[in-house]
Amino acid sequence: PPMAPPSASGNCKDNAAGENYADINWDGLGFSLVSTDYMYVMKCAKVDKFSQGSLIPYGNMEISPSAGILNYGQGIFEGLKAYRTEDGHILLFRPEENAKRMKIGAERLCMPSPSVDQFITAVKQTVVANKRWVPPPGKGSLYIRPLLMGTGALLGLAPAPEYTFLIYCSPVGSYHQGSSLNIKVEDRLYRAISGHGGTGGIKSITNYAPVYSATAEAKANGFTDVLFLDSATGKNIEEASSCNVFVVKSDAISTPVIDGTILPGITRKSIIDIATDLGYQVMERNISVDEVLGADEVFCTGTAVVVNSAASVTYKDKRVEYKTGPETLSQKLRKTLVGIQTGCIEDTKGWTVEV
Protein backbone atom coordinates (compact mmCIF):
# COMPACT_ATOMS: atom_id res chain seq x y z
CA PRO A 1 0.00 0.00 0.00
CA PRO A 2 1.19 3.56 -0.62
CA MET A 3 3.16 4.91 2.31
CA ALA A 4 2.30 8.21 3.92
CA PRO A 5 4.31 11.16 2.64
CA PRO A 6 7.12 12.24 4.94
CA SER A 7 6.10 14.13 8.07
CA ALA A 8 7.50 17.49 9.04
CA SER A 9 10.24 15.92 11.14
CA GLY A 10 13.78 14.82 10.43
CA ASN A 11 16.07 17.22 8.64
CA CYS A 12 13.34 19.65 7.66
CA LYS A 13 13.36 23.28 8.53
CA ASP A 14 10.71 25.91 8.29
CA ASN A 15 11.08 28.82 5.94
CA ALA A 16 9.48 32.17 6.52
CA ALA A 17 6.22 31.00 4.96
CA GLY A 18 6.11 28.08 7.34
CA GLU A 19 6.62 25.50 4.62
CA ASN A 20 8.92 22.55 5.05
CA TYR A 21 12.08 22.26 3.04
CA ALA A 22 14.84 19.70 3.17
CA ASP A 23 17.91 21.05 4.94
CA ILE A 24 20.31 21.46 2.03
CA ASN A 25 22.07 24.39 0.44
CA TRP A 26 19.46 25.51 -2.09
CA ASP A 27 21.92 27.95 -3.65
CA GLY A 28 24.37 25.22 -4.59
CA LEU A 29 22.30 23.01 -6.87
CA GLY A 30 23.78 21.77 -10.13
CA PHE A 31 22.69 18.74 -12.09
CA SER A 32 23.91 16.00 -9.81
CA LEU A 33 21.96 13.45 -7.85
CA VAL A 34 20.53 14.49 -4.51
CA SER A 35 18.70 11.52 -3.03
CA THR A 36 15.16 12.21 -1.93
CA ASP A 37 12.77 10.33 0.35
CA TYR A 38 10.52 8.21 -1.86
CA MET A 39 10.38 6.47 -5.20
CA TYR A 40 7.38 5.05 -7.00
CA VAL A 41 7.42 1.43 -8.17
CA MET A 42 4.88 -0.48 -10.25
CA LYS A 43 5.48 -3.93 -11.72
CA CYS A 44 3.72 -5.94 -14.37
CA ALA A 45 4.11 -9.26 -16.14
CA LYS A 46 4.71 -9.27 -19.89
CA VAL A 47 1.25 -10.60 -20.57
CA ASP A 48 -0.45 -8.08 -18.24
CA LYS A 49 -1.20 -4.40 -17.95
CA PHE A 50 0.20 -2.15 -15.23
CA SER A 51 -2.38 -1.80 -12.46
CA GLN A 52 -1.18 -0.83 -8.99
CA GLY A 53 2.02 0.85 -7.85
CA SER A 54 3.24 2.28 -4.58
CA LEU A 55 5.65 4.71 -3.01
CA ILE A 56 8.54 3.12 -1.15
CA PRO A 57 11.60 4.68 0.49
CA TYR A 58 14.19 5.72 -2.10
CA GLY A 59 17.05 3.25 -2.18
CA ASN A 60 18.75 0.39 -3.95
CA MET A 61 16.62 -2.25 -5.57
CA GLU A 62 17.15 -5.93 -6.08
CA ILE A 63 17.44 -7.06 -9.68
CA SER A 64 18.18 -10.41 -11.32
CA PRO A 65 21.56 -10.62 -13.07
CA SER A 66 19.55 -12.00 -16.00
CA ALA A 67 17.18 -9.03 -16.17
CA GLY A 68 16.32 -7.87 -19.67
CA ILE A 69 17.54 -4.36 -18.96
CA LEU A 70 20.99 -5.49 -17.76
CA ASN A 71 21.65 -7.89 -20.60
CA TYR A 72 19.87 -6.49 -23.62
CA GLY A 73 19.19 -2.87 -22.75
CA GLN A 74 15.43 -3.21 -22.66
CA GLY A 75 14.69 0.10 -21.03
CA ILE A 76 13.60 3.67 -21.63
CA PHE A 77 13.52 6.75 -19.47
CA GLU A 78 11.80 10.09 -19.28
CA GLY A 79 12.64 13.42 -17.71
CA LEU A 80 10.36 16.19 -16.50
CA LYS A 81 10.47 18.91 -13.90
CA ALA A 82 8.31 20.25 -11.09
CA TYR A 83 8.63 23.93 -10.21
CA ARG A 84 7.45 25.69 -7.07
CA THR A 85 5.59 28.92 -7.86
CA GLU A 86 5.96 32.17 -5.92
CA ASP A 87 2.54 31.58 -4.34
CA GLY A 88 3.40 28.10 -3.14
CA HIS A 89 1.92 25.81 -5.79
CA ILE A 90 3.85 23.06 -7.54
CA LEU A 91 3.58 22.82 -11.31
CA LEU A 92 4.50 20.03 -13.72
CA PHE A 93 5.16 20.90 -17.35
CA ARG A 94 3.29 18.88 -20.01
CA PRO A 95 3.54 15.54 -18.22
CA GLU A 96 1.13 13.92 -20.68
CA GLU A 97 3.75 14.49 -23.39
CA ASN A 98 6.25 12.41 -21.40
CA ALA A 99 3.62 9.75 -20.83
CA LYS A 100 2.85 9.53 -24.54
CA ARG A 101 6.51 9.45 -25.50
CA MET A 102 7.12 6.65 -23.03
CA LYS A 103 4.30 4.64 -24.63
CA ILE A 104 5.85 5.04 -28.08
CA GLY A 105 9.28 4.00 -26.78
CA ALA A 106 7.79 1.04 -24.94
CA GLU A 107 6.14 -0.22 -28.13
CA ARG A 108 9.44 0.04 -30.01
CA LEU A 109 11.17 -2.08 -27.34
CA CYS A 110 8.25 -4.52 -26.86
CA MET A 111 7.39 -3.44 -23.33
CA PRO A 112 4.01 -2.85 -21.71
CA SER A 113 3.68 0.75 -20.52
CA PRO A 114 1.60 2.59 -17.94
CA SER A 115 -1.40 4.46 -19.32
CA VAL A 116 -1.16 8.24 -19.60
CA ASP A 117 -3.33 8.55 -16.48
CA GLN A 118 -1.26 6.06 -14.52
CA PHE A 119 1.92 7.87 -15.54
CA ILE A 120 0.66 11.31 -14.49
CA THR A 121 -0.86 10.03 -11.24
CA ALA A 122 2.41 8.29 -10.36
CA VAL A 123 4.44 11.42 -11.13
CA LYS A 124 2.14 13.52 -8.95
CA GLN A 125 2.35 11.03 -6.07
CA THR A 126 6.13 11.00 -6.31
CA VAL A 127 6.30 14.80 -6.20
CA VAL A 128 3.89 15.06 -3.26
CA ALA A 129 5.85 12.45 -1.30
CA ASN A 130 9.09 14.35 -1.99
CA LYS A 131 7.61 17.83 -1.69
CA ARG A 132 10.28 19.09 0.71
CA TRP A 133 12.83 18.52 -2.08
CA VAL A 134 11.13 20.83 -4.58
CA PRO A 135 13.46 23.86 -4.52
CA PRO A 136 12.20 27.27 -3.41
CA PRO A 137 11.14 29.58 -6.29
CA GLY A 138 14.14 30.76 -8.27
CA LYS A 139 16.49 28.09 -6.90
CA GLY A 140 15.84 25.30 -9.38
CA SER A 141 13.36 22.49 -9.86
CA LEU A 142 12.66 18.91 -8.94
CA TYR A 143 13.88 16.74 -11.82
CA ILE A 144 11.67 13.68 -12.14
CA ARG A 145 13.08 10.56 -13.77
CA PRO A 146 10.58 7.86 -14.80
CA LEU A 147 12.13 4.57 -15.92
CA LEU A 148 10.50 1.65 -17.68
CA MET A 149 12.55 -1.51 -17.84
CA GLY A 150 12.51 -5.23 -18.39
CA THR A 151 13.34 -6.55 -14.94
CA GLY A 152 12.28 -10.17 -15.49
CA ALA A 153 15.03 -12.78 -15.90
CA LEU A 154 15.83 -14.49 -19.18
CA LEU A 155 18.77 -15.79 -21.17
CA GLY A 156 17.76 -15.88 -24.82
CA LEU A 157 17.26 -12.66 -26.76
CA ALA A 158 13.59 -11.86 -26.14
CA PRO A 159 11.37 -9.40 -24.31
CA ALA A 160 11.68 -9.88 -20.53
CA PRO A 161 8.88 -11.72 -18.71
CA GLU A 162 8.38 -8.87 -16.18
CA TYR A 163 8.56 -5.04 -16.26
CA THR A 164 9.11 -2.32 -13.69
CA PHE A 165 7.96 1.28 -13.96
CA LEU A 166 9.89 3.35 -11.45
CA ILE A 167 10.05 7.07 -10.71
CA TYR A 168 12.69 8.79 -8.64
CA CYS A 169 13.54 12.46 -8.41
CA SER A 170 16.26 14.89 -7.44
CA PRO A 171 16.36 18.64 -6.88
CA VAL A 172 18.43 20.27 -9.63
CA GLY A 173 19.75 23.66 -10.63
CA SER A 174 21.47 24.58 -13.86
CA TYR A 175 22.70 21.78 -16.14
CA HIS A 176 25.66 23.71 -17.55
CA GLN A 177 26.46 25.79 -14.45
CA GLY A 178 24.78 28.75 -16.08
CA SER A 179 27.40 29.23 -18.79
CA SER A 180 26.85 29.14 -22.54
CA LEU A 181 28.15 26.26 -24.60
CA ASN A 182 31.28 25.64 -26.62
CA ILE A 183 30.18 22.88 -28.94
CA LYS A 184 32.30 20.49 -30.97
CA VAL A 185 30.74 18.87 -34.01
CA GLU A 186 31.56 15.17 -33.80
CA ASP A 187 32.54 13.85 -37.23
CA ARG A 188 33.55 10.31 -36.34
CA LEU A 189 31.03 8.79 -33.94
CA TYR A 190 27.22 8.79 -34.08
CA ARG A 191 24.81 9.32 -31.29
CA ALA A 192 22.37 6.46 -31.27
CA ILE A 193 21.69 3.11 -32.87
CA SER A 194 21.47 5.37 -35.76
CA GLY A 195 19.73 5.94 -39.01
CA HIS A 196 16.13 5.55 -40.00
CA GLY A 197 14.41 2.69 -38.23
CA GLY A 198 16.94 2.84 -35.38
CA THR A 199 16.23 3.99 -31.84
CA GLY A 200 17.38 7.60 -32.06
CA GLY A 201 13.79 8.80 -31.85
CA ILE A 202 12.93 7.14 -28.54
CA LYS A 203 14.39 7.73 -25.10
CA SER A 204 16.07 4.34 -25.02
CA ILE A 205 18.69 4.02 -22.29
CA THR A 206 20.97 2.62 -24.98
CA ASN A 207 21.11 5.99 -26.77
CA TYR A 208 22.96 7.74 -24.00
CA ALA A 209 26.17 5.93 -22.99
CA PRO A 210 27.32 5.98 -26.65
CA VAL A 211 27.83 9.75 -26.33
CA TYR A 212 30.36 9.40 -23.50
CA SER A 213 33.54 8.82 -25.47
CA ALA A 214 32.94 11.71 -27.88
CA THR A 215 31.88 13.98 -25.01
CA ALA A 216 34.86 13.04 -22.86
CA GLU A 217 37.26 13.75 -25.69
CA ALA A 218 35.58 17.07 -26.45
CA LYS A 219 35.63 18.08 -22.78
CA ALA A 220 39.31 17.21 -22.53
CA ASN A 221 39.80 19.72 -25.34
CA GLY A 222 37.88 22.48 -23.58
CA PHE A 223 34.44 22.02 -25.14
CA THR A 224 31.20 21.79 -23.16
CA ASP A 225 29.21 19.53 -25.46
CA VAL A 226 29.18 17.57 -28.68
CA LEU A 227 26.86 17.98 -31.65
CA PHE A 228 26.21 14.77 -33.56
CA LEU A 229 25.66 14.44 -37.31
CA ASP A 230 23.32 12.14 -39.18
CA SER A 231 24.90 8.80 -39.94
CA ALA A 232 23.41 8.63 -43.45
CA THR A 233 25.23 11.63 -44.94
CA GLY A 234 27.50 12.91 -42.15
CA LYS A 235 26.47 16.42 -43.25
CA ASN A 236 23.35 17.34 -41.32
CA ILE A 237 23.14 18.04 -37.62
CA GLU A 238 21.01 15.83 -35.38
CA GLU A 239 21.25 16.64 -31.68
CA ALA A 240 23.75 17.29 -28.91
CA SER A 241 24.53 14.75 -26.19
CA SER A 242 21.51 15.58 -24.05
CA CYS A 243 19.47 18.14 -25.97
CA ASN A 244 17.96 19.29 -29.28
CA VAL A 245 19.53 22.08 -31.32
CA PHE A 246 18.17 25.21 -33.02
CA VAL A 247 19.84 27.69 -35.36
CA VAL A 248 18.77 31.29 -35.92
CA LYS A 249 19.41 33.28 -39.10
CA SER A 250 17.82 36.73 -39.29
CA ASP A 251 14.23 36.19 -38.11
CA ALA A 252 14.09 32.54 -39.14
CA ILE A 253 14.56 29.71 -36.67
CA SER A 254 15.34 26.16 -37.78
CA THR A 255 15.68 22.87 -36.00
CA PRO A 256 16.31 19.38 -37.37
CA VAL A 257 13.13 17.65 -38.46
CA ILE A 258 11.89 14.73 -36.38
CA ASP A 259 12.17 11.66 -38.58
CA GLY A 260 13.04 8.85 -36.20
CA THR A 261 16.72 9.61 -35.64
CA ILE A 262 16.51 12.40 -33.08
CA LEU A 263 14.56 12.75 -29.88
CA PRO A 264 11.19 14.55 -30.16
CA GLY A 265 11.95 16.87 -27.27
CA ILE A 266 9.10 18.39 -25.29
CA THR A 267 11.10 21.56 -24.71
CA ARG A 268 11.86 21.58 -28.45
CA LYS A 269 8.16 21.37 -29.29
CA SER A 270 7.27 24.06 -26.73
CA ILE A 271 9.96 26.44 -28.01
CA ILE A 272 8.65 25.98 -31.56
CA ASP A 273 5.18 27.02 -30.35
CA ILE A 274 6.44 29.95 -28.27
CA ALA A 275 8.60 31.27 -31.13
CA THR A 276 5.76 30.87 -33.63
CA ASP A 277 3.41 32.78 -31.31
CA LEU A 278 5.98 35.56 -31.06
CA GLY A 279 5.88 35.87 -34.86
CA TYR A 280 9.04 34.05 -35.84
CA GLN A 281 9.18 31.70 -38.77
CA VAL A 282 10.12 28.25 -37.44
CA MET A 283 11.21 25.51 -39.83
CA GLU A 284 11.72 21.83 -39.06
CA ARG A 285 14.07 20.59 -41.76
CA ASN A 286 17.51 19.19 -42.52
CA ILE A 287 20.24 21.59 -41.44
CA SER A 288 23.79 21.22 -42.73
CA VAL A 289 26.86 21.89 -40.58
CA ASP A 290 27.70 24.72 -42.99
CA GLU A 291 24.43 26.44 -42.10
CA VAL A 292 25.23 26.12 -38.42
CA LEU A 293 28.58 27.78 -39.02
CA GLY A 294 26.80 30.60 -40.88
CA ALA A 295 24.06 31.15 -38.29
CA ASP A 296 23.56 34.26 -36.14
CA GLU A 297 22.69 32.21 -33.08
CA VAL A 298 22.72 28.56 -32.06
CA PHE A 299 20.97 27.18 -29.00
CA CYS A 300 20.04 23.92 -27.32
CA THR A 301 16.78 22.85 -25.71
CA GLY A 302 15.93 20.03 -23.33
CA THR A 303 14.23 19.34 -20.04
CA ALA A 304 17.55 19.21 -18.22
CA VAL A 305 19.28 22.08 -20.07
CA VAL A 306 16.08 24.17 -20.54
CA VAL A 307 17.35 26.59 -23.25
CA ASN A 308 21.04 27.39 -23.49
CA SER A 309 22.96 29.42 -26.06
CA ALA A 310 26.07 28.26 -27.86
CA ALA A 311 29.01 30.64 -27.55
CA SER A 312 30.83 28.72 -30.27
CA VAL A 313 30.64 25.75 -32.60
CA THR A 314 33.76 24.03 -33.91
CA TYR A 315 33.77 21.70 -36.91
CA LYS A 316 37.11 20.18 -37.85
CA ASP A 317 39.48 23.16 -37.71
CA LYS A 318 36.81 25.85 -38.12
CA ARG A 319 35.51 27.65 -35.04
CA VAL A 320 32.63 30.14 -35.19
CA GLU A 321 31.46 32.33 -32.32
CA TYR A 322 27.90 33.52 -31.77
CA LYS A 323 26.25 36.19 -29.74
CA THR A 324 25.11 35.16 -26.26
CA GLY A 325 23.55 37.00 -23.35
CA PRO A 326 20.17 38.47 -22.43
CA GLU A 327 19.59 40.18 -25.80
CA THR A 328 19.62 36.93 -27.78
CA LEU A 329 16.50 35.33 -29.15
CA SER A 330 17.27 32.12 -27.26
CA GLN A 331 17.27 33.95 -23.94
CA LYS A 332 14.01 35.67 -24.84
CA LEU A 333 12.45 32.28 -25.62
CA ARG A 334 13.93 30.79 -22.46
CA LYS A 335 12.42 33.55 -20.34
CA THR A 336 8.97 32.93 -21.77
CA LEU A 337 9.25 29.16 -21.34
CA VAL A 338 10.52 29.33 -17.75
CA GLY A 339 7.93 32.02 -16.99
CA ILE A 340 5.16 29.61 -17.99
CA GLN A 341 6.79 26.67 -16.19
CA THR A 342 7.13 28.60 -12.94
CA GLY A 343 3.69 30.22 -13.07
CA CYS A 344 5.08 33.77 -13.59
CA ILE A 345 3.58 34.03 -17.09
CA GLU A 346 -0.02 33.05 -17.68
CA ASP A 347 -0.29 29.58 -19.19
CA THR A 348 -2.76 30.08 -22.02
CA LYS A 349 -1.97 26.69 -23.55
CA GLY A 350 -2.82 24.39 -20.67
CA TRP A 351 0.78 23.18 -20.47
CA THR A 352 1.18 23.29 -16.71
CA VAL A 353 -0.44 20.76 -14.40
CA GLU A 354 -0.76 21.46 -10.72
CA VAL A 355 0.39 18.72 -8.38
Q: Is 79 in the site for ligand COI (CB under 6 A)?
A: yes
Q: Which is nearer to ligand COI, 44 or 263 (CB)?
A: 263
Q: Is 304 in the site for ligand COI (CB under 6 A)?
A: yes
Choose one: 115-123, 185-193, 245-253, 300-308; the region binding ligand COI (CB under 6 A).
300-308
Helix 116-129, helix 95-108: angle, nearest 10: 120
Choose one: 37-45, 112-120, 301-309, 325-333; the region binding ligand COI (CB under 6 A).
301-309
- Give the Cα separation of 143 and 348 in Å (integer): 24
Largest pairwise CA distance in the chain: 59
Exposure string (b/e) for 287-316, b if CB count within 10 Å is 16 or more?
bebeebbebebbbbbbbbbbbbbbbbbbbe
Q: Determine the size of the site formed for ligand COI (CB under 6 A).
A: 6
Cα angle 227, 72, 258; round to 5:
35
Binding-residue pattern over the window 27 to 66 for ligand COI, x denoting contact by CB under 6 A: ----------------------------------------
The catalytic position among 203, 316, 323, 335 is 203
- Give the Cα separation of 268 and 100 in Å (integer): 16
One residue of 303, 309, 331, 342 binding ligand COI per CB under 6 A = 303
Count of residues in the chain? 355
Report the nearest approach of ligand COI to the CB of residue 304 (Å): 3
Q: Is 242 in the site for ligand COI (CB under 6 A)?
A: yes
One residue of 112, 114, 135, 302 binding ligand COI per CB under 6 A = 302
Report the nearest approach of ligand COI to the CB of residue 79 (Å): 2
Q: Which is nearer to ligand COI, 20 or 206 (CB)?
A: 206
Exposure string (b/e) for 157-196, b if CB count within 10 Å is 16 or more?
eebbebbbbbbbbbbbbebbeeebbbbbbbeebbbbbbee
Report the nearest approach of ligand COI to the CB of residue 154 (Å): 27
Instruction: For strands 141-150 and 75-77, give the pairing.
Output: antiparallel
Q: Which is nearer to ligand COI, 74 or 141 (CB)?
A: 141
235 assigned to active site: no
Helices (H), 157-286: 212-220, 266-277
Report 163-222 residues binding ligand COI (CB under 6 A): 208
- The burial of 210, by beta-carbon neighbours within 10 Å (0-12 exposed, 13-18 middle, 19 or more buried), is given as middle
- Point out which residues bind ligand COI (CB under 6 A): 79, 208, 242, 302-304
Q: Catalytic residues, which ones?
A: 203
